[in-house]
Amino acid sequence: MEYVLLLSKQIILMFLLMGIGYWLFKSKKLSVQGNKELATILIYAILPASIIRSFLTEFTSKKLVGFLLSFAAALAALVISILISKIIFGSRKKIEHFGTAFSNAGFIGIPLVKAAVGEEAVFYIASFVALLNILQWTYGVVVMSESKEAVSIRKLSRNPILISLFTGLLFFFTQWNVPALVSNTLSLVGNMTAPVAMITLGAYLAQLSFKELLNEKAAYQSTAVRLLLIPLVTLAVLTLLPNEYRDIKMTVLIATAAPVGSNVAVFAQLNGLDYTRAVKSVCLSTVFCIITMPIILGLAAVIWK
């Protein structure tokens, strides 16, 4: 119960931060371009700093096993998400297919994992976020464009999340002595993850009227699959892992239970699809996750005692 209360408080805190972004945009103190630049800072500086910092830790066989297990669990969770999304939406609803397959594990997952499980757990969620990015730029591109030729290995190799993961792994395996000044800088930048991510999402939400948001049937379908069906199936599969790996299981479940990833709007726009419908799915699922995430993770806490 204590775990659920902690998580609920963190989600409420994040929605208060979203409220700041909402107010800044509505009061015209933050523009569409300004919000886009905030998101760029988040993706290219803040999230990578948080991931790299999580790997600046002592190398032990236990941590190596934990990382490999988290990688396998993340891969299984993402395969489950993709299969469920494909079965329910298929090629008929590309936006919902992509949106439900890929959660907002970076924007929302990392801040929540840091708060609820601990700073060291970013070490485990890093593989989930990296795999999610790889699949978005391969499988996701094919879903949205219906063309395998649209997959760009060049763009994938320049992905900041993947670069930060490999950089972090390099530090972890070589145990390079990183100066305290560099480590502290990474910590300070990484600690901005939650405020900047939530303010950005709040500004996205402010661009839609509540009437528009509540009248989109496809967004409700996407939200239900993303926040309830996929996490429940993933929870059942993760239950097969021994409870000694509880932190890893919780970390992967938090990433899986996160709302629709904001990249669906970017990919929709790039492929000439309905950008506003994609944004509605992101915003509606983000609003409802304040209810669903504590329920899903509370259920896991009871089962994984």
The Cα 227–Cα 236 span in angstroms is 15
CB half-sphere exposure, 40, CA atoms < 13 A: 6
Q: Is 305 part of any domain? A: no
Q: Bigger pLDDT: 79 or 35?
A: 79
Reading the block at residue 238, the tokens are 């993760």
CATH of residue 154's domain is 1.20.1530
DSSP string, 227-267: IIIHHHHHHHHHTTS-GGGHHHHHHHHHHHHS-B-THHHHH
Q: Bigger pLDDT: 148 or 127?
A: 127
Return the SS3 of 305. Answer: coil
The tokens 């523009």 sit on which residue? Answer: 31
Residue (of 49, 57, 55) closest to 191 by Cα position: 49
The Cα 197–Cα 158 span in angstroms is 21
CB half-sphere exposure, 35, CA atoms < 13 A: 25
- 278 pLDDT band (50/70/90 cuts)? confident
Instruction: Please tell me the total count of domains within the chain.
Output: 1
Give the phi and the psi of residue 103 in degrees, each rounded to 5: -80, 175
Residue 199 in contact with residue 18, Cβ under 8 Å? yes
Return the SS3 of 103. Answer: strand
Residue (of 194, 204, 236) closest to 11 by Cα position: 194
- 4 pLDDT band (50/70/90 cuts)? low
Say what percent of the chain tops pLDDT 70.
96
**Residue ranges making up the domain that contains 258:** 2-300
Q: Is 129 part of any domain? A: yes
Q: At residue 75, does pLDDT exceed 90?
A: yes
With 0.95 as the threshold, say if the pTM is over it: no
CB half-sphere exposure, 89, CA atoms < 13 A: 25
Cβ-based neighbour number of residue 191 at 10 Å: 16
DSSP string, 168-190: HHHHHHHT----HHHHHHHHHHH
pLDDT in tens, 241-262: 998 899 899 999 999 999 998 7
